[in-house]
Structure formats: C-alpha cells, structure tokens
Structure 1
Amino acid sequence: MATTPGRSAVTPYGILFNAVFKGMDPERAHHLAFGVIRALPALGGLVRRFCAPHPSLSVNALGLEFPSPFGLAAGFDKNAAGIPGLGELGFGHVEVGTVTMHAQDGNPKPRMFRLVPDRGLINRMGFNNEGSAAAVPRIERARMRRNRPIIGANIGKSRVTEVEDAVADYVWSAQRLAPISDYLAVNVSSPNTPGLRGLQELEMLEPLLAAVKDAAGETPLLVKIAPDMEDEQIDGIVSLAVRLGLDGIIATNTTISRAGLETPSADVEDMGAGGLSGAPLAERALAVLRRIRATAPAEFCVISVGGVTTAADVLERLAAGATLVQGFTAFIYEGPLWARAINRGLRKAGWRQAA
C-alpha cells in the first residue's frame, strides 16, 4: 500500500513502524532490520517464492538480465553482507557500498535522521564501511547462489586520501571489485566526504573515470552524480561519460537542499548537515533523469534514484527514459514487502521492457 508524505500506511508494518521504529534511533533500527534480512536465505527460499518478480518484468541492460527494473540503491548494504536476503525480498539488483579502499568508521553519531512528515531521511554517514577487500569474499559467495539479484559495487574515496590522490584510491577498489561484480559505480557525489563532490568538475572527473574504466576492464561502469548541479554541468558529465565509453549514469545521489519540507525548520536545523533523500528529492531526480535522457544515446543506461516510493513512481521514471530504477529511503517507511509491492504493481500495469 502506498503512502503519502505526512501519513503512515494503515498496514501491519505501518502500525509497527509507528509503535516501535519511529521512536528508535534510525541507525539502530537499520541494524536490527538488517539482521533479519541476512537470515532470510535460511528459510529455504520461502520468502523468495512469495516476493520474486514475475519473469515478464525482466530487463536487459548493461549486457545483463535483471529480474526486475527495480533495485536497491547503494547505502543500505554498505558491506555486501545482505545480498542474498535482499534478493529474496524481490529486488532485481542490489548495489552494495559505498565501499572505500581503506576501512573507516564514518562520521560521529548520531548521523541519520528521519523526517517522517516528509517521508525523508538526512544522513551524514561518511562512507562507514569495512573496506573494499572485505567486500570481495562476500560478493563472491553471493554470486554462487541460485536466483541471486544482479550485484553492483559502488566505490568511493577514502576519507584519509587527499583529493589529489583520489584516482589511485578508486583504482585500488576497482581492481578488486570489478572482476567479481556485475557492474561498478563510481560515487563522486556524496556530500558527506570532504572534497568528494569537487571530483564532479570535468577537469578532475575525466582522468578519474578514464583510470577506473581501464581498471574495470569488461565490467560495466557507471558514474553516480548529485542532484544539486546546474543543467550545464549535467550535460557536460553526460558528454564526458559517453566520450569515455562509460556504460551509464546513476542519477541521483542525496541533496543538500532543504527546500519545501514539511518537517519544522527548527527540527531540520537541529539535525545538521547531511544529504537529504526520500520523497522531497523526487521532483529534482525526475528532472535530472529527463535532462540526461535528452542528450544521452538511447543505448546509454540511466539508473534513476531519488524519491521513489510506489509502482507509479517507478513507471513514471521508466516512461521518462530510465533503464532501471532504484530506491532506498522508502524501504524504511514501507517495510520488507516494499519491493514485492512495486513488482506486483508493475505487472498489474502490464509493464514490459520495450523491444
């Protein structure tokens, strides 16, 4: 059942969210839910049989067959520890990370805040992860499972690495993760690592993407961009990505804007810095998607993410030219059957990938 900003769904999960999770620290709630998700494969495929996307929803993209156009964005499974369980819930692909060359704790807590009236989330996690090398055996094990989702690996710059040394940092991660991932995503757009968004400037982005593409070899490579750029900057990145032979763009990451929120401004100010995701990002994410698709070649993969909650949202992105669609924040508000509900909605609408 879909929700609207400011309202909770009258469902078992909606009642549970209001009674338990709404008052719990978001990061603690995430860890509790993640523990359950990791245990799902032990149920012998029972959950998968209930949640698996219908074969008619399969999508050919990046030279791969995705079980559904809808997948889970980076940020939920930072350490590639829950891929099988997330696949059981019906996500057609799971993008793990962001992972970095060096393991790091991220920013001080608290660093994640719900904006319940807006169905949004502010986070300043800071790429907390156990490092790229630690993710390798987990991805390898996940790849061996039957009926697995497509696995993407999202890589970023380590906090201890200076911006001028970023290329080597990204390449180190790419060399380890590209051979065992279905696709690789370069994150230069998180607002929570000092200097990272500066890498989106073309004079810095070109050598970075060229080096990572070389390290990735035959593995499809995409770049994830921020929603806060001017249209001309977006056009420049699209042109660069096409010229360098990248396979696609992921649009968009979180925003630093706080415009138009229903959550009281004093509460938002108390939450502090960080990237805003969820429903408030929907309009801008859709605009960026349309801007990219207006200039990118038809075969260029565009993954749209930001403010997606319902099957109708996913259909709108697909109609606007998205090849695939990702979500994350609504998982918190919609609950464990979210991907199933979206896949059922897509099938009910009769959606199929265009020939």
Structure 2
Amino acid sequence: MKFILHLLIIMMILGCSNKNENIEENIIESVNLLTITNSSSVSNTPFSKPAEAIIYEDNLYSISDLNTYKYNFESNIWETINTNNLNVANTKDSNVSFIKDSKWYIINRKGLWTFDFSANKWEILKEFTDNLLLASSGVYHNDSLYIFSNIYDNVYKYNFENNSLILHSTFTQKPVYGILTKTILKIKGSYYYLRLTNGGKMAIYKWIDDFTNFELLNEFKYEDWLTGGSAFVFNDNIVFGLGGDIVTGVHGGIASFSLNDKFYYYDIINNESKKIENSFYTGTFNALPIEYNNKFYLLGGTTILNREIIYRNTLDQIEFKFIEY
C-alpha cells in the first residue's frame, strides 16, 4: 500500500512538472516596437524649397532661394527677415549647419557663410572652387569643425583663424548611392554616420578616435528606397526613412519614380535594425529634419502626384513612441 502511494505521489509531481513546462512553452514574451503615433502638417510655409534650416533661441530659421525666414513655434507665424542670401545654399547642395559664437554658419562645396541673428545679415567668409566638399557631411564639436565629402576619402578640420581646410585624416569609404538630407547624428556624446551604399542599403558607422576613423557597426538591406530620406535621434535609436528617386525621360517629364513613406530604426545598444510598420502620411524625399523641444518635424520635401513633381510648402510634425506588443 505504501508503495502504491509513493508511486502516485511521484506521478503527480511529474505531471505537474510537465504542465509547468508546457505553460512556460506557451508564454510569449512581449516586445517594445517603435511606432508612428501621429504625422500631420502643423504649418504652411511661405516657400516650397528649403535649402537649410536650424533652431536658434526657440525659433526655426530657414533659407529658400534668396530669402531667409524665421518661424515661431508658439505663434505659428513665419516672417521674412532677409531677402539677399548671397547664394548661401540651394537644394542641390549638401550643407553642414551649426551655431558658433551666437551666429549661424553654413558650409558646403561652394564656401562658408555666417548669419548674424541680431542684424539679420549674411556674410561670406570663404569661397571654395576645388569641390573638395562635394556632397558634404560634418559636425561642429568642441569649437572645431570636422567635415568631409561623401565622394572622397579625406576628412578636414576647418581653421577659423585663416579660413582654410586642413587635412585631418583619410579613410576608405564604401561606394555611395545617394545620401540622406542629414547624415551625422549624435547620441550620448558619440557621433554616428549613415551612408547609403545602395538606394535601399545602409551602412552605419561610429565616428571615433578624435574624428579620424569610422568604425563600421553594421550594414542593412531595406525594401524601401531611402535616397533623400530624413533621420532623427529617438532615445538610443537612429530613426530614418522616407526618400525617393526620379528618372527623367528623354523628352522631359517623369519616366519612372520611387516614393517611400516608411521609416526604420537602428538600436545602437543591440546593434540591430527594425522597420516601423505604420507609415508617414505621405511619401516624400528631401525633407529637412528638425528637432525642437523633444518634438520632431519635417520641413518641405518633394512628392509625386499624378506623375507631377510637387514641392511641399509644409512644416510637418511626426511623433514616435515605443509600444508594447
């Protein structure tokens, strides 16, 4: 009798153990996925082709054609503050923009300009004729400007005393296939460089060793076209997306085009990339990314409607949030 009781107890224990194992097998761990919770236009702009933009003292400043504009987020009002930009920047150039000594600086393949906010006036500091900064990317860090071309292998440090480019380092770049509107992003004191090695393929680097080397972190293939796309920093993630391309026919007009309304994100902690499943409210490319008060905006951009090129005159807000699934 005792033997039978012991046997029953052992069978009950084993049965409970198997049930627990089955329960554990059926448990699905939840995941946090980045989601677009809102995307909408917040303001119409008095221009449709912004070439560059920057935040200064709670205002958004932008250049379009020969005009400089100022936008106040609180009042939602645009005003024209300068009508002679000295050909500072245009939508065909890649610009590096920064604040130094309470002035706005813009550098690209053509030269270096500065804008005095108190006088609302532009001044050219240096003209370039050698195209060393063709399709330029760079960063202003600790009173130093480091800049390079997305085409060539040289990194330069700018000498503000005599307005000259000094060779800082060289590096071997992967082939480039178009660029984002902004390619350098800062997270927790480190700078990351996004390089399109194909229309939908992205190499992600970390700029290290006093801006002399680029450490390749990973390379991802995406199903959407990202040339001319936009990028932001959200927590420990680089969020990038949108983009497009236009092929013109021999007789003019659009022969073919691609237009992307999707975003992706790269997690710098886990070195992995994921797709944001929902979309921006319209496909667009060449929109300038703006961050202000922990909110994200897109200025301008180009879209295609009925095979016609449309230059957008909007300031759009886009909201991201991690949601548990």
- TM-score, normalised on structure 1? 0.29
User: Which has the larger share of helix?
Assistant: 1
Instruction: With a CA cutoff of 8 Å and minimum separation of 6, indicate the structure with the bigger relative contact order.
Output: 1
- TM-score, normalised on structure 2? 0.31
User: Which has the larger share of strand?
Assistant: 2
